[in-house]
Amino acid sequence: MKYNLNQRKEYLRMTHRLGSEWLTVFAGDEEFYSAAYWDLLTNIWDKELPVRKTDALRFMTGIKSPHTAGKYIETAIRKGILIEEDNPDDARSKLLRLSPDMRSRLDAFFDSAVGQVRHTSGEMDQLGPSPQEP
């Protein structure tokens, strides 16, 4: 093993803190505490531009049914997390983007997450030797 028990537990504590912070992004709405929403929203955030709805359906890798994935998307649209708009390049498809408020909330979440990773890294170094990996 590369890391000792205390280092692994510190990592686990960090993931619990990040999970709690993910919930604050949605004002405690536990419906969004789901890997499906994590995959959907972080992929759309990462793209920075509107994405085709069919591509967004595929972002939810844990959901095998496009129909079920579509229900997740419809919930996010109804709650104002995603905005659906016509695709100016293809009238047959729709585009999805994060609402400005959700983009701002996710920006703040990722700022906090990066800070948590940096803090946890320092804690792990204090808890025992850390292997140097390329």
Q: Give the residue among 94, 92, 72, 68 at the shortest CA–CA distance from 83.
A: 94
CB 76 within 8 A of CB 23: no
Tell me the C-alpha distance between 96 and 60, whole Å: 14
Residues 54-75 have pLDDT tens digits of 999 999 999 999 999 999 999 9
CB 120 within 8 A of CB 7: no
Residues 71-118 have pLDDT tens digits of 999 999 999 999 999 999 999 999 999 999 999 999 999 999 999 999
| Both structure tokens of 127 | 């808890």
Tell me the C-alpha distance between 40 and 113, whole Å: 18
Tell me the C-alpha distance between 47 and 53, whole Å: 13
List domains and CATH numbers for the chain: 5-125 (1.10.10.10)
Q: Give the residue among 84, 85, 71 at the shortest CA–CA distance from 34.
A: 71
pLDDT at 134: 46
Question: For the chain, what percent of residues have pLDDT higher than 90?
Answer: 84
- DSSP annotation of 3 reads S
